[in-house]
């Protein structure tokens, strides 16, 4: 059973976009802070009232976020 739910954040055209790698969840935000808050809200709404064992997730899972910084520009 999973103790960690993984998300990936990348920069879209206008927003930061977060997609969950373990569940069908996608959210966005104008800033990274807003995006992280939206991840928490979206995850809570998605698993609210659900049997976590059906998703193979332990109760009170941790959230891991990987931020894709895109290409580097060298000075």
For Cα atoms 63, 45, 41, give the angle at the middle one, nearest 5 degrees.
Answer: 55
List pLDDT tens digits, range 31-58: 999 999 999 999 999 989 988 888 888 8
What kind of architecture, by CATH, is found in domain 2-67?
Answer: 2-Layer Sandwich (3.30)
pLDDT band at 71 (very low <50, low <70, confident <90, very high): confident
> According to DSSP H, which parts of 1-75 are helical?
32-47
List pLDDT tens digits, range 3-26: 999 999 999 999 999 999 999 999
Predicted confidence (pLDDT) at residue 62 exceeds the cutoff of 90: yes
Whether the CA torsion 30, 65, 41, 28 is positive or negative: it is positive
Residue predicted with more confidence, 8 or 72 = 8
Its pTM stands at: 0.85
């Amino acid at each position: 059973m999973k103790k960690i739910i993984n998300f990936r954040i990348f920069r879209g055209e206008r927003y930061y976009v977060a997609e969950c790698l373990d569940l069908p969840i996608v959210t966005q935000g104008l800033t990274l802070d807003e995006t992280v808050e939206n991840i928490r809200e979206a995850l809570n709404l998605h698993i609210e009232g659900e049997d976590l064992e059906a998703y193979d997730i332990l109760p009170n899972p941790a959230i891991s976020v990987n931020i894709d910084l895109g290409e580097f520009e060298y000075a």
